Protein backbone atom coordinates (compact mmCIF):
# COMPACT_ATOMS: atom_id res chain seq x y z
CA UNK A 1 0.00 0.00 0.00
CA UNK A 2 1.18 3.50 -0.76
CA UNK A 3 1.42 5.99 2.10
CA UNK A 4 -1.99 5.96 3.82
CA UNK A 5 -2.07 9.73 4.15
CA UNK A 6 -4.53 11.20 6.61
CA UNK A 7 -6.59 8.44 8.25
CA UNK A 8 -9.97 8.83 9.94
CA UNK A 9 -10.59 6.22 12.63
CA UNK A 10 -14.38 5.94 12.63
CA UNK A 11 -15.53 5.13 16.14
CA UNK A 12 -18.51 5.55 18.44
CA UNK A 13 -21.58 5.95 16.26
CA UNK A 14 -25.10 5.67 17.58
CA UNK A 15 -25.73 1.91 17.66
CA UNK A 16 -26.34 -0.18 20.78
CA UNK A 17 -22.61 -1.03 20.66
CA UNK A 18 -21.41 2.57 20.89
CA UNK A 19 -19.43 2.13 24.13
CA UNK A 20 -17.57 -0.92 22.82
CA UNK A 21 -16.83 0.93 19.58
CA UNK A 22 -15.37 3.87 21.48
CA UNK A 23 -12.99 1.53 23.32
CA UNK A 24 -12.05 -0.32 20.14
CA UNK A 25 -11.50 2.93 18.26
CA UNK A 26 -9.33 4.41 20.97
CA UNK A 27 -7.06 1.35 20.88
CA UNK A 28 -6.80 1.44 17.08
CA UNK A 29 -6.15 5.19 17.05
CA UNK A 30 -3.36 4.89 19.61
CA UNK A 31 -1.74 2.01 17.69
CA UNK A 32 -1.78 3.91 14.40
CA UNK A 33 -0.42 7.11 15.92
CA UNK A 34 2.32 5.13 17.69
CA UNK A 35 3.52 4.01 14.26
CA UNK A 36 3.63 7.52 12.86
CA UNK A 37 0.35 7.36 10.95
CA UNK A 38 -1.48 10.68 10.66
CA UNK A 39 -4.64 9.27 12.26
CA UNK A 40 -7.54 11.10 13.90
CA UNK A 41 -10.63 9.91 15.73
CA UNK A 42 -13.91 10.63 13.96
CA UNK A 43 -17.32 9.99 15.57
CA UNK A 44 -20.14 10.00 12.98
CA UNK A 45 -22.65 10.51 15.77
CA UNK A 46 -21.01 13.85 16.55
CA UNK A 47 -19.59 14.90 13.17
CA UNK A 48 -21.01 15.12 9.65
CA UNK A 49 -19.51 12.80 7.06
CA UNK A 50 -18.99 15.83 4.83
CA UNK A 51 -16.16 16.76 7.21
CA UNK A 52 -14.22 13.74 5.92
CA UNK A 53 -13.99 15.50 2.58
CA UNK A 54 -13.63 19.02 3.96
CA UNK A 55 -10.74 17.91 6.21
CA UNK A 56 -9.14 15.97 3.36
CA UNK A 57 -9.03 12.49 4.85
CA UNK A 58 -7.43 9.97 2.49
CA UNK A 59 -8.57 6.75 4.11
CA UNK A 60 -10.98 5.47 6.79
CA UNK A 61 -10.37 2.77 9.39
CA UNK A 62 -13.86 1.59 10.37
CA UNK A 63 -14.22 0.56 14.01
CA UNK A 64 -17.96 1.17 14.20
CA UNK A 65 -19.77 -1.87 15.61
CA UNK A 66 -23.42 -2.60 14.90
CA UNK A 67 -25.92 -0.69 12.82
CA UNK A 68 -24.73 2.28 10.84
CA UNK A 69 -21.13 1.08 10.80
CA UNK A 70 -21.16 -2.68 10.27
CA UNK A 71 -24.27 -3.06 8.10
CA UNK A 72 -23.09 -1.54 4.82
CA UNK A 73 -24.47 1.95 5.37
CA UNK A 74 -21.13 3.56 6.22
CA UNK A 75 -19.38 1.53 3.56
CA UNK A 76 -21.79 2.86 0.93
CA UNK A 77 -21.31 6.44 2.11
CA UNK A 78 -17.53 6.14 1.94
CA UNK A 79 -17.71 4.65 -1.54
CA UNK A 80 -19.85 7.59 -2.63
CA UNK A 81 -17.28 9.97 -1.13
CA UNK A 82 -14.50 8.01 -2.88
CA UNK A 83 -12.66 7.34 0.38
CA UNK A 84 -10.98 3.91 0.71
CA UNK A 85 -11.92 2.05 3.89
CA UNK A 86 -11.01 -1.04 5.86
CA UNK A 87 -12.95 -4.27 5.83
CA UNK A 88 -15.74 -5.66 3.71
CA UNK A 89 -17.86 -3.78 1.22
CA UNK A 90 -21.56 -2.90 1.23
CA UNK A 91 -22.81 -6.36 0.29
CA UNK A 92 -20.62 -8.32 2.70
CA UNK A 93 -21.43 -6.06 5.63
CA UNK A 94 -25.16 -5.97 4.90
CA UNK A 95 -25.35 -9.75 4.70
CA UNK A 96 -23.24 -10.40 7.78
CA UNK A 97 -25.18 -7.93 9.92
CA UNK A 98 -28.40 -9.82 9.19
CA UNK A 99 -28.21 -13.20 10.92
CA UNK A 100 -31.22 -14.49 9.00
CA UNK A 101 -29.77 -13.70 5.56
CA UNK A 102 -26.36 -14.90 6.66
CA UNK A 103 -27.80 -18.32 7.47
CA UNK A 104 -29.71 -18.41 4.19
CA UNK A 105 -26.50 -17.75 2.23
CA UNK A 106 -24.58 -20.37 4.20
CA UNK A 107 -27.33 -22.93 3.76
CA UNK A 108 -27.42 -22.26 0.02
CA UNK A 109 -23.65 -22.75 -0.08
CA UNK A 110 -23.98 -26.10 1.69
CA UNK A 111 -22.24 -24.93 4.86
CA UNK A 112 -23.28 -26.37 8.24
CA UNK A 113 -25.65 -24.34 10.45
CA UNK A 114 -28.02 -25.16 13.30
CA UNK A 115 -31.73 -25.73 12.48
CA UNK A 116 -33.69 -22.51 12.97
CA UNK A 117 -36.98 -20.67 12.46
CA UNK A 118 -37.56 -16.94 11.86
CA UNK A 119 -40.36 -15.23 13.81
CA UNK A 120 -41.43 -11.77 12.72
CA UNK A 121 -42.68 -9.13 15.14
CA UNK A 122 -46.46 -8.87 15.00
CA UNK A 123 -46.87 -12.26 13.35
CA UNK A 124 -49.81 -14.47 14.24
CA UNK A 125 -49.63 -16.20 17.62
CA UNK A 126 -46.61 -18.50 17.83
CA UNK A 127 -47.20 -22.06 18.97
CA UNK A 128 -44.28 -22.02 21.38
CA UNK A 129 -44.64 -25.65 22.44
CA UNK A 130 -44.55 -26.91 18.86
CA UNK A 131 -41.66 -24.63 17.95
CA UNK A 132 -39.62 -25.88 20.90
CA UNK A 133 -40.37 -29.49 19.97
CA UNK A 134 -39.38 -28.85 16.35
CA UNK A 135 -36.02 -27.37 17.40
CA UNK A 136 -35.06 -29.95 20.00
CA UNK A 137 -36.57 -28.64 23.24
CA UNK A 138 -34.16 -25.79 23.97
CA UNK A 139 -33.39 -22.79 21.77
CA UNK A 140 -31.38 -19.61 21.48
CA UNK A 141 -33.32 -16.52 20.40
CA UNK A 142 -31.51 -13.63 18.70
CA UNK A 143 -32.49 -10.31 17.12
CA UNK A 144 -31.65 -10.57 13.43
CA UNK A 145 -29.47 -7.45 13.36
CA UNK A 146 -27.69 -6.85 16.66
CA UNK A 147 -24.18 -7.68 17.84
CA UNK A 148 -22.35 -8.27 21.13
CA UNK A 149 -25.11 -10.74 22.17
CA UNK A 150 -27.50 -7.82 22.74
CA UNK A 151 -31.12 -8.97 22.98
CA UNK A 152 -30.21 -12.67 23.06
CA UNK A 153 -31.63 -15.22 25.49
CA UNK A 154 -32.26 -18.95 25.78
CA UNK A 155 -35.57 -20.73 26.26
CA UNK A 156 -36.65 -24.24 27.15
CA UNK A 157 -40.30 -23.61 28.06
CA UNK A 158 -43.15 -21.94 26.21
CA UNK A 159 -43.21 -19.07 28.71
CA UNK A 160 -39.47 -18.51 28.34
CA UNK A 161 -39.72 -18.60 24.55
CA UNK A 162 -42.44 -15.95 24.50
CA UNK A 163 -40.35 -13.74 26.78
CA UNK A 164 -37.24 -14.31 24.63
CA UNK A 165 -39.14 -13.36 21.48
CA UNK A 166 -40.47 -10.20 23.12
CA UNK A 167 -36.93 -9.23 24.12
CA UNK A 168 -35.48 -9.91 20.65
CA UNK A 169 -38.32 -7.99 19.00
CA UNK A 170 -37.43 -4.92 21.03
CA UNK A 171 -34.29 -4.73 18.89
CA UNK A 172 -35.43 -6.04 15.52
CA UNK A 173 -38.54 -6.95 13.54
CA UNK A 174 -37.16 -10.44 12.98
CA UNK A 175 -36.03 -12.91 15.62
CA UNK A 176 -33.93 -15.95 14.80
CA UNK A 177 -34.83 -19.00 16.89
CA UNK A 178 -32.05 -21.59 16.70
CA UNK A 179 -31.67 -25.07 18.11
CA UNK A 180 -29.51 -25.01 21.22
CA UNK A 181 -25.90 -26.00 20.60
CA UNK A 182 -24.31 -27.68 23.61
CA UNK A 183 -20.76 -28.20 22.37
CA UNK A 184 -17.62 -26.10 22.54
CA UNK A 185 -17.60 -22.57 21.10
CA UNK A 186 -14.87 -21.26 18.82
CA UNK A 187 -14.05 -18.14 16.88
CA UNK A 188 -11.75 -17.76 13.90
CA UNK A 189 -10.27 -14.41 12.85
CA UNK A 190 -9.76 -13.73 9.15
CA UNK A 191 -6.96 -11.45 7.96
CA UNK A 192 -6.66 -11.02 4.23
CA UNK A 193 -6.82 -14.50 2.72
CA UNK A 194 -5.68 -16.23 5.90
CA UNK A 195 -7.48 -17.76 8.87
CA UNK A 196 -5.64 -17.06 12.13
CA UNK A 197 -5.40 -19.66 14.92
CA UNK A 198 -8.82 -20.50 16.35
CA UNK A 199 -9.81 -19.54 19.90
CA UNK A 200 -11.98 -21.70 22.17
CA UNK A 201 -14.24 -19.69 24.45
CA UNK A 202 -15.12 -20.94 27.91
CA UNK A 203 -17.57 -19.09 30.16
CA UNK A 204 -19.31 -19.80 33.45
CA UNK A 205 -22.42 -18.15 31.98
CA UNK A 206 -25.06 -20.15 30.18
CA UNK A 207 -23.69 -18.70 26.95
CA UNK A 208 -21.13 -16.14 25.80
CA UNK A 209 -23.31 -13.10 26.52
CA UNK A 210 -22.51 -9.37 26.73
CA UNK A 211 -21.31 -9.63 30.33
CA UNK A 212 -19.08 -12.61 29.56
CA UNK A 213 -17.58 -10.70 26.63
CA UNK A 214 -16.90 -7.34 28.21
CA UNK A 215 -17.23 -7.46 32.00
CA UNK A 216 -16.66 -10.91 33.49
CA UNK A 217 -13.20 -11.74 34.82
CA UNK A 218 -13.62 -15.52 34.71
CA UNK A 219 -14.17 -15.96 30.95
CA UNK A 220 -11.38 -18.13 29.54
CA UNK A 221 -9.87 -17.93 26.06
CA UNK A 222 -7.84 -20.87 24.82
CA UNK A 223 -5.50 -20.21 21.91
CA UNK A 224 -4.35 -22.70 20.72
CA UNK A 225 -7.89 -24.04 21.04
CA UNK A 226 -6.83 -27.58 21.89
CA UNK A 227 -8.02 -29.13 18.63
CA UNK A 228 -6.13 -31.79 16.72
CA UNK A 229 -4.20 -30.45 13.72
CA UNK A 230 -6.80 -31.99 11.41
CA UNK A 231 -9.74 -30.41 13.28
CA UNK A 232 -7.98 -27.03 13.45
CA UNK A 233 -7.40 -27.11 9.70
CA UNK A 234 -11.03 -28.09 9.09
CA UNK A 235 -12.29 -25.27 11.30
CA UNK A 236 -10.09 -22.69 9.61
CA UNK A 237 -11.20 -23.90 6.17
CA UNK A 238 -14.86 -23.70 7.24
CA UNK A 239 -14.37 -20.14 8.55
CA UNK A 240 -12.70 -19.00 5.31
CA UNK A 241 -15.47 -20.59 3.24
CA UNK A 242 -18.12 -18.88 5.38
CA UNK A 243 -16.37 -15.51 5.12
CA UNK A 244 -15.98 -15.74 1.36
CA UNK A 245 -19.60 -16.87 0.87
CA UNK A 246 -20.67 -13.53 2.35
CA UNK A 247 -18.26 -11.58 0.12
CA UNK A 248 -16.07 -10.82 3.11
CA UNK A 249 -12.90 -8.82 2.49
CA UNK A 250 -9.95 -7.49 4.45
CA UNK A 251 -10.62 -8.80 7.91
CA UNK A 252 -13.39 -10.22 10.03
CA UNK A 253 -14.33 -13.01 12.39
CA UNK A 254 -16.46 -16.14 12.11
CA UNK A 255 -18.10 -17.65 15.21
CA UNK A 256 -18.71 -21.40 15.39
CA UNK A 257 -20.14 -23.87 17.91
CA UNK A 258 -20.24 -27.64 18.06
CA UNK A 259 -23.44 -29.62 18.38
CA UNK A 260 -23.85 -32.50 20.82
CA UNK A 261 -22.08 -34.83 18.35
CA UNK A 262 -19.05 -32.52 18.04
CA UNK A 263 -19.90 -31.26 14.54
CA UNK A 264 -19.04 -27.62 13.71
CA UNK A 265 -22.04 -25.34 13.13
CA UNK A 266 -21.63 -21.77 11.90
CA UNK A 267 -23.14 -19.11 14.17
CA UNK A 268 -22.50 -15.70 12.67
CA UNK A 269 -20.03 -13.42 10.94
CA UNK A 270 -18.52 -10.20 12.28
CA UNK A 271 -17.21 -7.80 9.65
CA UNK A 272 -16.03 -5.17 12.16
CA UNK A 273 -14.97 -7.24 15.18
CA UNK A 274 -14.06 -5.74 18.53
CA UNK A 275 -10.57 -4.34 18.99
CA UNK A 276 -10.56 -3.77 22.75
CA UNK A 277 -8.03 -5.18 25.22
CA UNK A 278 -10.26 -8.27 25.64
CA UNK A 279 -11.07 -8.69 21.95
CA UNK A 280 -10.53 -11.89 20.04
CA UNK A 281 -8.92 -10.84 16.76
CA UNK A 282 -5.89 -9.28 18.52
CA UNK A 283 -5.62 -12.44 20.62
CA UNK A 284 -5.51 -14.66 17.54
CA UNK A 285 -2.99 -12.31 15.92
CA UNK A 286 -0.71 -12.61 18.96
CA UNK A 287 -0.82 -16.38 18.61
CA UNK A 288 0.40 -15.88 15.04
CA UNK A 289 3.21 -13.66 16.29
CA UNK A 290 1.68 -10.29 15.39
CA UNK A 291 1.57 -7.37 17.80
CA UNK A 292 -1.54 -5.22 18.06
CA UNK A 293 0.27 -2.46 16.17
CA UNK A 294 1.23 -4.85 13.36
CA UNK A 295 -2.34 -6.13 13.17
CA UNK A 296 -3.82 -2.65 12.91
CA UNK A 297 -1.31 -1.63 10.23
CA UNK A 298 -2.05 -4.79 8.23
CA UNK A 299 -5.81 -4.10 8.36
CA UNK A 300 -5.14 -0.58 7.13
CA UNK A 301 -2.96 -1.92 4.32
CA UNK A 302 -5.88 -4.07 3.15
CA UNK A 303 -8.24 -1.08 2.88
CA UNK A 304 -9.80 -0.40 -0.48
CA UNK A 305 -12.85 1.02 -2.25
For residue 245, is the peptide bond before it cis, meaning its omega torsion is within 30 degrees of 0? Answer: no
In this predicted structure, the answer to whether residue 217 has a pLDDT above a threshold of 70 is no
Mean pLDDT of 122-132: 85
Give CA–CA dist 280/288, Å, rounded: 13
Mean pLDDT, rounded, for 63-76: 94
CA gap 81, 221 in Å, rounded:
40
Q: Give the pLDDT confidence score for residue 177 in this predicted structure.
A: 95
For 79-120, how does the pLDDT look when each residue is reduced to its tens digit (9 = 90+)? 999 999 999 999 999 999 999 999 999 999 999 999 999 999
Structural domain boundaries of the chain? 6-86, 95-112+182-301, 116-179
Per-residue pLDDT reduced to its tens digit, 4-47: 899 999 999 998 889 999 999 999 999 999 999 999 999 999 99
Q: Residues of 145-177 as b/e, b for ≥16 C-beta within 10 angstroms?
A: bbbbbbbbbebeeeebbeebbebbbebbebbbb
What pLDDT score was predicted for residue 125? Answer: 76
Average of per-residue pLDDT across 116-127: 86
CB-based contact 152:209 (threshold 8 Å)? yes
- The 10s digit of each residue's pLDDT in 131-162 is 999 999 999 999 988 765 788 899 999 999 99
Just list the catalytic residues: 17, 148, 279
pLDDT of residue 259 exceeding 90, the answer is yes
- Bridge partners of residue 85, in order along the sequence: 60, 304
User: Which pLDDT does position 132 carry in this prediction?
Assistant: 95
**Percent of the chain at pLDDT exceeding 90:** 83
Whole-number pLDDT of residue 208: 59
pLDDT of residue 244: 98
In three-state secondary structure terms, 165 is helix
Checking if the pLDDT of 300 tops 90, the result is yes
DSSP, residue by residue, 68-86: TTSSSHHHHHHHHHT--BS
For the domain spanning 116-179, the CATH number is 3.30.1490.20
- Please write the tens of the pLDDT for every residue from 154-166: 999 999 999 999 9
250: left (phi over 0), alpha (psi -120 to 50) or beta: left
Q: Which is more confident, 218 or 189?
A: 189
- Mean of pLDDT values over 249-256: 97
d(CA 177, CA 226): 30
Going from the C-alpha of 285 to that of each of 120, 142, 197, 303, the distances in angstroms are 39, 29, 8, 18
| Those residues with Cβ within 8 angstroms of residue 66's Cβ, 6 or more apart along the chain or in another chain | 13, 15, 16, 17, 18, 21, 146, 147, 148
Q: Which fold has domain 6-86?
A: Rossmann fold (3.40.50)
pLDDT at residue 292, rounded to an integer: 96
d(CA 1, CA 257): 36
Q: Is 42 exposed, middle or buried (0-12, 13-18, 19+ CB in 10 A)?
A: buried
Annotated binding site for Mg(2+): 255, 268, 270
In the structure, what pLDDT confidence band is assigned to residue 305 with cuts at 50, 70 and 90?
Answer: low
Mean pLDDT in the chain? Answer: 92
pLDDT of residue 213: 55
Please state which of the four CATH numbers 3.30.470.20, 3.40.50.300, 3.30.2320.50, 3.30.70.520 is assigned to the domain occupying 95-112+182-301. 3.30.470.20
Q: How far apart, in whole angstroms, are the C-alpha atoms of residue 246 and residue 269?
A: 9
pTM summary value: 0.91
DSSP 289: T
Amino acid sequence: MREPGKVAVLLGGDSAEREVSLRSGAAVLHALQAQGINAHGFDPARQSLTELVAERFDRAFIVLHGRGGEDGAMQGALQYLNIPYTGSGVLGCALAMDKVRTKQVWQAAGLPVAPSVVVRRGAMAVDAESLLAELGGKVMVKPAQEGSSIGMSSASTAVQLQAALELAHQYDAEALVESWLSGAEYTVAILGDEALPSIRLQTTHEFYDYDAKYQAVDTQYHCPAGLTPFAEQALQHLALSAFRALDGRGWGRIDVMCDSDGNFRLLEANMVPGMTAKSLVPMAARARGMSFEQLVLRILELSEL
